Amino acid sequence: MSSATTQQPASKNRGTLVITIVIIAAVVVAFFIFAGLYADWLWFQQLGFQNVLTTQWLAAAVMFLIGFVGMAVPVWVSIEIAFRRRPVYAKLNAQLDRYQEVVEPLRRLATLGIPIVLGFFAGIAAASRWELALMWLNRTTTGEVDPQFGLDISFYLFELPFYSSVLAFASAVVIISALAALATSYLYGALRVTGREVRISKTARIQLAITGAIYLALQAVSFWLDQYRTLSDTSSGLIYGASFTDVNATIPGKAIIAGAAAVVAILFIVTAIVGRWRLPIVGTALLIVTAIIAGSVYPWIIQRFQVEPSVRSLEAEYIQRNIDATRTAYGVTDVTETPYSATTDAEPGQLRDDAETTASIRILDPALVTLSFAQLEQIKQYYKFPQHLDVDRYEVDGKSQDTVIAVREIDTTNTGGTNSAYNDTFVYTHGYGVVAAAGNERTADGMPSFIESGIPSTGVLGEYEPRVYFGENSPDYSIVGAPEGAKPIELDYPANGEDSDTNATTTYKGDGGPKLDNIFKQLIYAIKFQSEQIVLSDAVNSDSQILFDRDPRERVQKVAPYLTLDSDAYPAVVDGKVVWIVDGYTTSAQYPYSEKQSLSTAIVDTYTPAPLVALDQINYIRNSVKATVDAYSGEVTLYAWDDEDPILKTWQKIFPSTLKSASEMTEQLSEHVRYPADLFKVQRTILGTYHVTDTNSFYSGDDAWVTPDDPTSSAATAKAQPPYYMTMKMPGADSAAFSLYSTYIPRSSGEGTRSILTGYLSVNADAGENYGKFTLLALPKDTTVAGPGQVQNNFNSDTAVSTELNLLDQGATSVRKGNLLTLPVGGGLLYVQPVYVQSTGETSYPILQKVLVSFGDEIAFESSLDAALDVIFGGDSGAVAGDENVPDAPTVPTDPDAPETPETPTTPTTPGAGDSSAFTQALADARDALQEREAAYAANDLVAAAQADEKLQKALETLFAESK
C-alpha cells in the first residue's frame, strides 16, 4: 500500500511536468510567431501600407477558415454517419475484430483528429490562394470579348481560374470524404467483401451513392469549364488557343462528356433511392467510353483526316485569332514593319542628317567600367559599386546627356578592420553619393569623363541628399538615430580626402524604420534578427530606428505583392534626393488565344542569368506600376502607370489608396522614367515571330526572327545580346529620343544559323506622348546586311585590326571588347564597339584605348569614335561624336615599374635644322626606337626594351647635337 501510494504522486508529478513543458513550449513558439508578425506590422505601419498587410492577413485567415471547415466538416460528417449508422449486430471476421480492438480505444480521437489534421493542411492550401479569391471578388470587366464564346476577357483572367480552383478543392474534399466513409463502413461491417460477393448496408449505400453523385456533378461542371480552358491551352502544338480541331471536335466533345457525367450523377442518386448499383456502374462505364471517344478518338480523326491534309487553309482563321490576341496581350498591337534599305556604301557627309545620334553614341560600356568606377571613385575600401552600372540621361548645359550612373554603397564585409556586430549595426550604416560619367565621352587617357564624382559629391547634378541608407547592397539591418545633441557614431565619409584616416560622422535624421523606443520592441527585433545587441547595446536609445528590408525591389514587392518586378532597379537624382526607380508588371497566363512563354526565360541575356526552373508562364503583361524608393528615408511611392489595365484596376479595389496617379509624378521624376528592359525583352521575343501578320507566312515560319547571341561572349557561353539604351533619332522620326533597341537575325539552328540582320526594333523610352512607341525596321530580303556576329567576326579577322589588338593583348596587358552597338544612321547600319586595355596587375581596371567602327564593308580602328567615323566616310562623316576633343593617341597603360618613356622630340625651329639629313634621320630613329620600346614592354621582353632604350638615347644625342 505504501509503495503504491509513493508511486502515485511520482507519476502525477511527471504528468504535471510534461504538461508544464508543453505549455511553456507552446507559449515560446506562439511568442516567436507573434514577434515575426508584430515586426512586420511595425514595418508596414512605418511605411504607411498597413492596410496591405491587414488585408493579406484577413484574406488569408478567412481562406484558411474556409479551407479548414470545407475539409474538416465533410470528412467528420462522413466518418460520423458511417459509424453511427453501422450495423449493430454485423458478423465480422476475426481480422476485422482485431482491427476494431486496436482502433476502438482511439476512435473518438481519430474521429476528431483526422478531420482536424486534414482541415489544417487544407486551410494552409486555401490560405495561399487569397489573391485568387480577392481578384474574383473584385474583378473588373475589360470591354473586350473572346472570338469563340463571346465572353468578356475578364472571365478568363479572374473567374475561370477561381472556379477551377474551387472545383479542384471540392473534388479533393469529396474523394477524401468517400475514402473515410469506405474505411469506416468496412471496419464496422457496413461494407463486407466475401469472395466475389460485396454486401453493403442501406445507410452505407445511400452515403456512398450520394458522395459519388456529388463527385460526378463536380466533374460535369469541370468538363463544361474545360471548353473555355481550350482558349489558353494548346493541343495542336501549332498555336495557343482553340484550333480547328478544338472548335469542331474537342469543345463539343467536352460538352457531351459534361452532359454524360451529369446523367451518371443522377443515376447515383437513383441508386441511393432504389438500391440498385447496376445503373450507375453501367453509366460510369459508358461515361468512360464516351470520354475516350468524344475526348480523344473523334478529335484525333478530325485532326488526322480533315485538318492535316488542308492545315494551312483550315487553321488560317484560328492562327489569325492567335496573332491578334498575342499582339494585344503583349502590348504590341500597333507595331508595324517599316522597310529599311540599309545601304552599304559609305560616302563623305553621309551622317549629316544623323548628327544628334552620332553625338550621343555611347562609348562607355556599363558592364565593363565597374572596375574603373571602383578604382577611381570608390575612395575607401568599405564602399562598392554594382557589377553592372545603369544608363540614364541628365540635362547638362541645356542638352540631354546619356549617362552611366551608379550608387556608392556601403560594404560591411570589407571595412579593413574588425567586422564586429557593433560596427556592422551602428557604424557602417549607409553609402554615400552617386557617381556618373558621360556615356559618349572619355578623358585623354581613356578614363570615364565624370560629371558627378567625389566625396562630398560635386558635379552637374546639383545639390541632393547623398546618404544612401536603402540600396541594393545595404546591410541586412542597421540601427540609427539618437537624441538631439548626442555624439554621432555613424561613419559618414572620409573627411579629408582619400588618404585621410579622419572620418566625418553623422546621425540619421529621417524616418526610415520602426522605432525601438521601448524594451518590448527591442526584444521583438532581437528575436527577429537573433541578436542580443539590440537589447543590450548602449547605442540603442529611445530615438533609435531599425532599418531592414532595404533592397528597393524587396520593399516594393512587400507593399505591392501582386506585381512582378523588373530585374533592374536603377538610381536617379530627382528633386534633391536619390531615388530608386522600379518597374512593376501585372501578368496573367489566362488570356485567350495568346502565346505563352516563360518570363524568366524570355529575359535571359548576357547580364541576366537563366533560372534553374522556369515556373512563370505568362501570356499577358503590362507595365502597370512605376515605383520609387527614397534612398535616404526608404519611402515607397507607387504610381499607376497604366491605369487602363484591368488587373491593376482590380488590385486598386483590393488595396485602395496605395497608388498615386502617374500625373502626380514630378517633372524631374518623369524625366528619368524609362521603358523597362525586361518588358522590352519579352516583347522582342514575341515580335520575333508575331511581326508576321499573314497567316500563310506565319504557318510556314519563313520569316521568323530571333535575337542574336552576344558576339562579345564565347560561343560556348553566349546568350542573347542585351538590349541597349541610347539617345538616337530613328529613321523617319522628327527628333532624337532616349530609346531602347535590339536587333534580329533569321531563326535557324545548327549549321544553318546565319548572322544576317533581318530586323531592328526600338522603342521610345522617354516619358511623354511618344513613350512606348515602337519602330520596327525590316531589312530587305534580297540583300545581305551583316548582323552583330558577322561584324564581330569581321573585326577579329581584319588584318590591320588583329595586328594592333595582338600588340595590345600581350605581356602585362589584355584587351577587353565592349558592347557592340548597332545604329540605323546614314541610310545603313553603323556598328560601334569600344576597345579597352587592362593591365593584368592586382588593382588594374579597363582603359578605353580604341574604337572599332563598321559600315557596310568598311572598317575603322581609331583612337576616337570621331576619327573612326571620318575614316569610314571618306575623311568627313558630316557629324561629330562626343569624343571629338580626344587626342588621336591616348595614353597607353604600362607597367608601373617600367621606366618612363621620354617624350618624342619635336622638330626644332632653329633655321636650317629642317634641311639637315642627319637631323631627319635621327628623328626617324627616335620614333622607331619609341615604337620598339613600347612593343618590347607589351611583350614583357626586357632585353629588347633595354636595346630600344639604348637606340633611343643615341638618337636623342644626335638630335641635340644637330639642333645646336
Element (H, E) at 670: helix 667-672
pLDDT attached to residue 199: 76
Single-letter amino acid code for the residue at 873: F
Contact 453/435 with Cβ under 8 angstroms? yes
Cα of first residue to Cα of last residue in the chain, in angstroms, is: 132
Using 50, 70 and 90 to split pLDDT, how confident is the model at 947?
confident
Cell numbers standing for residue 242: 482553340
Q: Is the peptide bond before 456 cis (omega within 30 degrees of 0)?
A: yes
Q: What was the pLDDT predicted at 718?
A: 85
Q: Which of 274, 160, 117, 163 is nearest to 209 (CA)?
A: 274
pLDDT > 90 in the chain, percent: 69
Single out the residue of 207, 162, 199 nearest to residue 180, CA to CA: 207
Mean pLDDT of 544-572: 96
Which range, 87-96, 479-488, 937-946, has the best average confidence (pLDDT)?
A: 479-488
Quick one: which of 197, 365, 404 has its CA closest to 834?
365
Rounded-to-integer distance, Cα 819 and Cα 838, Å: 16
CA angle 732, 733, 735 (to 5 degrees): 145
Question: What value does the mean pLDDT take over residues 562-572?
Answer: 96
pLDDT grade for 624, boundaries at 50, 70 and 90 = very high
Considering only residues 891 and 801, tell me which one the structure prediction assigns the higher pLDDT. Answer: 801
For residue 351, what pLDDT is reported?
Answer: 93
Measured CA to CA, the distance from residue 707 to residue 687 in angstroms comes to 10
pLDDT (0 to 100) of residue 109 = 84
CA-nearest of 248, 238, 503 to 382 is 503
Would you place residue 17 in the very low, low, confident or very high pLDDT band (cuts 50, 70, 90)? confident
Collapse the DSSP code of 561 into the 3-class scheme (helix H, G, I; strand E, B; otherwise coil) and give the result: coil
136 pLDDT more than 70: yes
Torsion of CA 29, 30, 31, 32, to 10 degrees: 50
Looking at this protein, which amino acid is placed at residue 431?
A: G
Interatomic CA distance for residues 495 and 498, integer angstroms? 8
| Domain range annotation of the chain | 63-200, 216-309, 356-479+488-507, 919-963
Q: Lowest mean pLDDT: which of 115-124, 662-671, 674-683, 809-818?
A: 809-818
Query: Band of the pLDDT at 882, cuts 50, 70, 90?
Result: confident
C-alpha 17: how far from chain center: 53
Q: For residues 103 and 112, what is the distance between their CA atoms, to the nearest angstrom?
A: 14
Choose between 381 and 163: higher pLDDT.
163
- Sign of the Cα pseudo-torsion (806, 807, 812, 816, in order): negative
Distance (Å, rounded) from C-alpha 350 to C-alpha 874?
10
**Residue whose grid cell is 639604348:** 950
To the nearest 10 degrees (0 to 180), the angle between helices 50-84 and 130-137 is 100
pLDDT at 896: 37
**756 has pLDDT over 60:** yes
- Is 907 a residue whose pLDDT tops 90? no
In this predicted structure, the answer to whether residue 7 has a pLDDT above a threshold of 60 is no
What are 59-74's pLDDT values in tens digits?
999 999 999 999 999 9
Q: Which residues of 467-500 are buried (b: 16+ CB within 10 A; e: fewer)?
A: bbbbbbbbbebbbbbbeeeeeebbbbbbeeeeee
pLDDT given for residue 78 in this prediction: 93
- For residue 919, the model assigns a pLDDT of 59
DSSP strand pairing (458-459 vs 448-453):
antiparallel
pLDDT tens, 400-455?
Answer: 999 999 999 999 988 876 678 899 999 999 999 999 999 999 998 889 999 999 99
Check: CB of residue 142 under 8 Å from CB of residue 646.
yes
Pairwise pLDDT comparison (814 vs 944), residue with the higher score? 814
Q: What is the mean pLDDT of the chain?
A: 88
Q: How does pLDDT run across 484-540, given as a tens digit for each residue?
A: 989 999 999 887 655 556 789 999 999 999 999 999 999 999 999 999 989 999 999
